[in-house]
Amino acid sequence: MRAAPVSAPRETPTSDGILAAILTSLSDDKAEDVVEISLRGKSEMADHMVIANGRSTRQVAAMAEKLTDRLKQRFGVISKVEGKEIGDWVLIDTGDVIVHLFRPEVREFYQLEKMWMSAAEAAAITG
């Protein structure tokens, strides 16, 4: 009788470790205009928020799919995902990090980062 395959050990998830993995995943998948916002001291819902663009609905949905798969494999984190079927705006809730993936036009319309950043931070992004 064969033994069951041993799964690779998972890392203990920390908010900073999850954030780093998210940023790496988005970079690997060619996300554009990636912004990380610290929510520590601003909100109880999470420690970090990441906002990024994909060039198309297909890319946005694919980035979301790969990101959630990578987090599950590496940390055992099961993420809640909304909007992946449409691909205009995908929300991924990992618990400690909230990720918003947009098509550029949708991101411009909602301007989500301005809601969470200080006036100086938002002005630096928008120029």
In the chain, the domains with their CATH numbers are 15-126 (3.30.460.10)
Predicted model pTM: 0.85
pLDDT of residue 121: 66
CA distance 91 to 110: 13
Smallest Cα–Cα separation from 80: which of 67, 95, 102? Answer: 95
53 CB contacts (<8 Å, ≥6 apart)? 31, 32, 33, 101, 102, 103, 104, 107
Please give the average pLDDT of every successive group of 10 residues along the chain, which has 127 residues: 53 90 98 94 89 97 97 94 95 96 96 78 63
Phi, psi of 90, rounded to the nearest 5 degrees? -110, 130
**Which pLDDT does position 7 carry in this prediction?**
54
Q: Are 110 and 31 in contact (CB under 8 A)?
A: no
